[in-house]
Amino acid sequence: MLRSAINAFVTEDTRLARSVIGYDDVVDKYQKDNIKKIKECMKQNPELVDTGIDYVIIVQNLERVADLATNIAEGVIFTIEGKIVKLESKKVEKTREEIFKDIPVFELLKKHAHLVLECMERIPLSLEAYYKGDFTRLEEICKDIIEIEREADKLKRNIRGHLPKGIILPVERFELFLYLKEQDAIADVAEEILNWLSFKHIPLPESIYKKSENLLTQSIEAIKHLEDMILYSADFLTYRNEESRNRVKEIVRNIRYAQYLAEAKGNEIKKEIFANTNEPILLFYMLKLIDLILGISHHAENTADLMRAMIAK
């Protein structure tokens, strides 16, 4: 697929580009079938669990290559013909209550995602207060974030502890719990950033602060799509709505691309830090802060990958 997509780009061949897009669903099916076989092997032989997880990651990464090839093919068609192949962004026609009534656990996941976003949207305020030396305001923001993070943890425990064993879910339980773990890890990053800021106050260079603030804002953009991703996924898993599935796939691609941009921006900031900083403590402190911020988009990408696996055919 990737070779054909590149050839379509070089030769401006929209027919070849459309053939690449046609294989997207085929690859999705192969992904689902292979993951199913890997799970069966893991169940039959618990000693293969670690190896099985590695193979699942490999399968998911291969499917990601197919998604990237599809993106290239769609870009070729848009450039040559001015047509957007993927479905336009539309709201799910059904009400939220209708979508969640059969799988209410997804409504809880959506509420959890909202709490995670609330946590992260306050982090830029804490970084600003730290930079300005306004520690009273920083402490107030920290208390607010910690309270929201506790609510998210409480909701996470409720999902794990009160999901009836006999309930039939459209996805594997372990996939659901892995997704929840990664989504909750985003809120944990918020707490880690707050802890790091509280350890020591080091005056940050203005240029580094501005770029760190931009990186933080860019990273948070990735998690603003989580609630919609959960809603559309629930609609597909319940009603097999292909439109919703395509919306999820598009959101996943956007989150992956946001992670890529954040990583590139983070590396750019690190290079500037190394080039302009000689003090060991300041160097270590700023590099650690950048890595913590990058953890936001990293965990967001992991949640997207896990949701993509759950809606695979």
- Output DSSP code: residue 48: G
From the list 86, 112, 127, 83, the residue with the least C-alpha distance to 176 is 112
**CATH superfamily to which 2-81 belongs:** Phosphate transport system protein phou homolog 2; domain 2 (1.20.58.220)
Report the percent of the chain where pLDDT is more than 90.
Answer: 46
Higher pLDDT, 249 or 173: 249
Cα 17 off chain centre by: 27
Residues whose CB is less than 8 angstroms from the CB of residue 75 and which lie 6 or more positions away in sequence, other chains included? 9
Rounded-to-integer distance, Cα 144 and Cα 202, Å: 23
The mean of the pLDDT values for the chain is 85
**Residue in 173, 303, 299 with CA at minimum distance from that of residue 251:** 303
pLDDT for 227 beyond 80? yes
CA–CA gap between residue 211 and residue 42 (Å, rounded)? 45
**Average pLDDT of span 263-276:** 94
Confidence of residue 18 (pLDDT cuts 50, 70, 90): confident
User: Given a cut of 90, is residue 173 above it in pLDDT?
Assistant: no
Confidence of residue 37 (pLDDT cuts 50, 70, 90): confident
pLDDT of 41 reads 87
Better-predicted residue by pLDDT, 228 or 169: 228
pLDDT at residue 89 greater than cutoff 60 = no
User: Does pTM surpass 0.85?
Assistant: no
CATH architecture, range 96-310: Up-down Bundle (1.20)
Backbone angle region of 91, left / alpha / beta, with phi > 0 → left and psi within -120 to 50 → alpha: beta
Neighbours of 237 (CB within 10 A): 21
DSSP letter assigned to residue 47: G
The answer on pLDDT for 82 being more than 50 is yes
Q: Which residue has the higher pLDDT, 82 or 145?
A: 145
Which pair of structure tokens corresponds to residue 65? 């290559």
How far is residue 299 CA from its own chain's centroid?
6
Of the pLDDT bands very low, low, confident and very high (cuts 50, 70, 90), residue 189 is: very high
Q: What is the mean pLDDT of residues 221-250?
A: 89
- Provide the pLDDT for residue 313: 63
Residue 164 has pLDDT above 90, yes or no: no
Buried-state track 168-201, b at ≥16 Cβ within 10 A, e below 16: eebbeeebbebbbbbbbbbbbbbbebbeebeeee
Which residues of the chain are in CATH 1.20.58.220 domains? 2-81, 96-310
